[in-house]
Amino acid sequence: MDERYVRHEGLFGAAGQDKLAATRVGIAGTGGLGCIVGMELSYLGVSLQTLVDADHVELRNLNRLVSATPADIGRLKVDAMAEMVTRILPGADLVKIPHRLEHPEAQAALRELDVIFSCLDDDHARLNLIALATAAGTPFFDLATDVIPEPGKVPTFGGRVIFSGYGERCAYCMRELDQAEIRRATMTPAELEIEASIYGVPVSALTRTSGPSVISINGVITSLAVTEFMKFVTGLLTPAPMLRYNGNTTSVRRVLDAPSIVPCPYCAAWSHEQAAQRRA
């Protein structure tokens, strides 16, 4: 075993390290969650990473981007993240896709991978990624954080990780997606105007805005997800189907609930044929 990873040997051995090195991983979204996932994967020795994100580094997201400094403002997030990864893991084999998820180049690249991390903060994009991964038979980890304001109280904060390994569950059938947000993301400006008039609010009140984001909360969620990924790839243990972190009570709960939408139109589309070819 490479001396760099000798401290891994006692947990999952040289064979496990080889599996990590050979696994092609996609990170959809290289913001507050994705950049930490990429950093942790790099320290694990995962050198085959595909990074998908069309956004640029801005001053307001420097509070959570471990891949960026003030000097990176204006750069593509995938460029800043790729530079961080190669500093940690010289010789890493990186594919940078500076496009949104729906771009053909992003779609084609993600279909060829062994595992995908969904680090998106847009439920419409998250649903599209679920559809892509299940149709391609690609195991994926879906990460999300939450900060819910409560008037006069400390906000409720935390997050969750869902492992969608073999078409058994996803954020849709576990009812973890905001259906109103998804519906409005597909509406035309005229349709949004009509909806806003029905509710008697401005259009801006119906469209999604970015909520609070704190690096330590992101770090808890990403570390949980990367640990489950490590268990999955090395064969150490079976990943948890879902983990929910509650920052208010400082607890992590293993969620064993069955999907509440059955049959799930996305999980039902899981491609066992492509999954078998990938494992072979």
Tens digit of pLDDT for each residue in 51-76?
A: 999 999 999 999 999 999 999 999 99
Kindly list the distances between the CA atom of residue 47 and the CA atoms of 104, 176, 229, in Å, as whole numbers in the listed order: 24, 31, 14
The pLDDT of residue 195 is 55
**pLDDT given at position 277:** 67
pLDDT at res. 148: 83
- pLDDT(40) > 80: yes
Per-residue model confidence (pLDDT) at position 192: 56
Average pLDDT, the chain: 91
* 72: helix, strand or coil: helix
Single out the residue of 17, 37, 21 nearest to residue 29, CA to CA. Answer: 37
8 Å CB contact between 64 and 78: no
Q: pTM for this one?
A: 0.92
Q: Domain limits at 262?
A: 3-279
Average pLDDT value for residue range 210-234: 94
Domain count, the chain: 1
Question: For the chain, where are the alpha helices, taking DSSP H only?
Answer: 9-22, 34-44, 77-88, 104-111, 123-136, 179-185, 189-199, 215-234, 272-279
- Where does the pLDDT of residue 251 fall: very low under 50, low under 70, confident under 90, or very high at 90 and above? very high
Residue 237 binned pLDDT confidence (cut-offs 50, 70, 90)? very high
Average pLDDT over residues 124-149: 94
Evaluated on CA atoms 112, 225, 220, 250, the torsion sign reads positive
The domain that holds 124 is classified in CATH as: 3.40.50.720
Predicted confidence band of residue 212 (pLDDT cuts 50, 70, 90): confident
In this structure, the dihedral spanned by the alpha carbons of residues 110, 115, 117 and 122, taken in order and rounded to 10 degrees, is 40
Per-residue model confidence as pLDDT tens digits over 256-272: 999 999 999 999 999 87
Question: If pLDDT is split at 50, 70 and 90, which confidence band does 280 have?
Answer: low
Tell me the pLDDT tens digit for each residue of 100-129: 999 999 999 999 999 999 999 899 999 999
What letter represents residue 175's amino acid? R
Q: How confident is the model at residue 197 (pLDDT cuts 50, 70, 90)?
A: low
> Of how many residues is the chain composed?
280
Which whole number is the average pLDDT over 184-195?
62
